[in-house]
Amino acid sequence: MTDPRPPIRVLLVDDHALVRTGNSLVLAATDDIAVVGEAGTGEEAVARARTLRPDVVLMDVRMPGIGGIEATRRITGAVPGTRVVVLTTFDLDTYAFESLRAGASAFLLKSATPAELTDAIRTVAAGDAVLAPRVTGRLIEAHVAALDHADADPRALLSPREYDVFLGIARGLSNPEIAAELTLALPTIKTHVNRILAKLGARDRVHLVILAYQHGIARTG
């Protein structure tokens, strides 16, 4: 039976054509992901994202021109429905943190397996992006002292039940895991998540995790 859902539309961004070709071949092997365009610079990525409005952008960090982090910031600002997965060969906290702050929904090394890459695309396309605190905790806490705390404090804006759900998200739990822990129906959890995102003005679950660390609600260890 044919899947009635349209494929996830992906824009590939990397200054090396060989890398773009390799990623394109990986994605071509799937039934639910389609490459709709490519770009070799940050400026080109922004322009193509505005035109193509892809579901997901696979974004290289270090490129000529404005680079991947600034391109991510511009794309997530101009095309809110587009999610960004940042790919880099550099396992540096600064790149990961700045990518997430710029609006990326995932951060992967280029050494990621094809399965990890396609899973990340599907996850962020579904709007259910989250990086487990064991991955993001060290990089967020390393930089949180330098952040201003202008973002709304979740403790002041959320209802007690919404705050319980928020804590689950901050711990890296999925919706089904939160539902099981709080003994609530999955649709109820999804409703709470949507309300939390709206109340806190957050892009996605990654942004919620960042808020949790920023306000000292979640910590490593």
Mean pLDDT of the chain: 83
The structure tokens 């404005």 sit at 66
Residue 133 has pLDDT above 50, yes or no: no
H or E element: which one contains 56? strand 56-60
Beta carbons of 45 and 38 less than 8 angstroms apart? no
Give the span between the Cα atoms of 101 and 70, in whole angstroms.
10
Residue 147 has pLDDT above 60, yes or no: no
> Which one of 53-62, 104-113, 137-146 scores highest in mean pLDDT?
53-62
Beta carbons of 169 and 181 less than 8 angstroms apart? no
Please provide the DSSP assignment of 85-137 as one string.
EEEES---HHHHHHHHHTT-SEEEETT--HHHHHHHHHHHHTT-----HHHHH
User: What pLDDT is attached to residue 90?
Assistant: 63
Residue 151 pLDDT class (50, 70, 90 cuts): low
Give the span between the Cα atoms of 133 and 170, in whole angstroms.
7
User: What pLDDT is attached to residue 150?
Assistant: 53
Give the span between the Cα atoms of 13 and 28, in whole angstroms.
16
pTM score, whole prediction = 0.70
- Residue 56 tokens read as 């997901």
User: What pLDDT is attached to residue 145?
Assistant: 53
